[in-house]
Amino acid sequence: MERVPILKIGRTLFVSIQIELQDDTVVRLQEDLADELSATGARGVVIDITAVEIVDSFIGRMLSMIGSISRLFDAETVIVGMRPAVAITLTELGLSLNGVRTALNAEKGLELLNGKA
């Protein structure tokens, strides 16, 4: 099973998903992120999904859950670089990614977190 690396930049965790997401990859990512958040006390999580072309309802829900988990560690989650097609799919599925913020690209996502801090 492929693992998504988690990078720590300052007080932010940066996750760039470069592979097609499978259900177990996302579950693993959620576990890893929880461990990392608790270990580092990071205040923000940026998840870059520029390379992700396909999402389903499960992955959409998992992204929401990652947001809720981060909040428990007092960290804000920003999903960045969503493709238009992915956004359309998610709205058609009726998912609005509650508990997660979104930004157009990684730069804006980081700005959003820093503006908060």
Partner 1 sequence: MADYLRDHHDKIVGRWSELVLAQVRGRTSLDEVRRELADLYSLIVRVLSDADDHAAGELRAALDELSRSRARDGYTPRETAIGMLALKEAVYEFVADTAELVPEFLVLSRMIDDLGLRTFEAYSAAREQIISDQSTSMLELSTPVVRLWEGIIAVPLVGTLDSARAQLVMEKLLDELVATSADHAVIDITGVPTVDTEVAQHLLKTAAAVRLLGAECTISGIRPQVAQTIVSLGIEFGDIATKANLADALALALRQAGMKVVPVA
Q: Residue numbers of the site for partner 1 (CB under 8 A)?
A: 78-80, 82-84, 86-88, 90-92, 96-97, 101-105, 108-109
Cβ closest to partner 1, residue 6 vs residue 103: 103
Chain centroid, CA 71 distance in Å: 12
Both tokens assigned to 116? 């908060």
Least distance in angstroms from the C-beta of 57 to partner 1: 14
CA atoms within 13 A on the CB side of 50: 11
- Toward partner 1, which CB reaches closer, 33 or 100? 100
Provide CB contacts within 8 A for 27, sequence distance 6+: 62
By C-beta, is 1 or 84 nearer to partner 1? 84
Nearer to partner 1, 40 or 89 (CB): 89
Least distance from C-beta 5 to partner 1, angstroms? 23
Q: Strand order of the sheet with strand 12-16?
A: 6-9, 12-16, 44-48, 76-80, 101-103
Q: Least distance from C-beta 68 to partner 1, angstroms? A: 17
